[in-house]
Amino acid sequence: MSTAKTALIIGASRGLGLGLVKTLLADGWHVTATVRAPHNAEALQALGDVRIEKLDMDDQQAVIALSQQLKGQVFDLLFVNAGVKGPAVQTPGGATLAEVGQLFFTNAVAPINLAQRFVGQIREGSGVLAFMSSVLGSVTMPDAPELALYKASKAALNSMTNSFVSQLGEQQLTVLSLHPGWVKTDMGGEGADLDVETSTRGLVDQVNDYAGKGGHHFINYKGETIPW
């Protein structure tokens, strides 16, 4: 019988999600990964032994369909990575109702809705539920006012995660709100500090270190605690 750990990675077409899959595979994990457009997932397919499922996290019917599809599977790690930067203009007067609604739904509401659907499939005791937050979601962080709406959406994700954790009841698992660093991806841009590999190596190390510890922690890819 295989003793490999199992992961479900949400949003793995590119960037950090793709990097997480690569790092986990290199560590011998069995990985199921979701993309919005499977016909456009060559980079993920090229990694080899990955089960690829289609999911737009904003689509409740698709979330329900995926939970049916993966019924009975137990995951050592559920990592909700998918997220968006939001509108180009992030001043309160510069963004539309639709843009703000989309940003907050995708970054703060959809991840928790998904977690609610799958939490019963995370391994009791040693399982980890990870959300891709950001240090920009810390309400103590004064930087990057040009990303004010994105920052607020990640603060909202942290708040939604806190509410979710408070309702977990008896289930023993570890919940991580993770900051990956500032990473060179489509979202992070070329001028970012870190390459994807360095960030995802650190993120997976934190998942391994925190497994079995329980509680909810806001940390970066190096394991340093971030103030809420």
Ligand X SMILES: NC(=O)c1ccc[n+]([C@@H]2O[C@H](COP(=O)([O-])OP(=O)(O)OC[C@H]3O[C@@H](n4cnc5c(N)ncnc54)[C@H](OP(=O)(O)O)[C@@H]3O)[C@@H](O)[C@H]2O)c1
Helices (H), 57-128: 60-69, 97-104, 110-118
- Determine which helix (DSSP H) or strand (DSSP E) holds 196, and give its type and residue range: helix 196-210
Gap between the Cα atoms of 139 and 169, Å rounded: 27
Q: Could you give the C-alpha distances from 80 to 11, 12, 96, 193, in angstroms and in order?
A: 7, 10, 26, 22
| Residue in 90, 106, 174, 206 binding ligand X, rule: CB under 6 A | 106
| Residue in 17, 86, 127, 202 binding ligand X, rule: CB under 6 A | 17
Minimum distance of ligand X from residue 124's CB (angstroms)? 27
| Residue in 11, 86, 127, 202 binding ligand X, rule: CB under 6 A | 11
The interface with ligand X within residues 113-152 (CB under 6 A) comprises 132, 134
| Residue 15 lies near ligand X (rule: CB under 6 A) | yes
Q: Could you give the C-alpha distances from 15 to 19, 20, 34, 184, 196, in angstroms and in order?
A: 6, 9, 13, 8, 7
Structure token digits, residue 202? 């650190």
| Residue 16 lies near ligand X (rule: CB under 6 A) | yes
The interface with ligand X within residues 46-75 (CB under 6 A) comprises 55-58
| Residue 192 lies near ligand X (rule: CB under 6 A) | yes
Residue 56 per-residue DSSP state: -
| Residue in 53, 76, 83, 86 binding ligand X, rule: CB under 6 A | 83
CA proximity to 161, closest of 122, 112, 127, 207 = 112
| Residue in 86, 127, 180, 202 binding ligand X, rule: CB under 6 A | 180
Binding site for ligand X (CB under 6 A): 11, 13-17, 36-37, 55-58, 81-84, 106, 132, 134, 179-180, 182-183, 185-188, 192
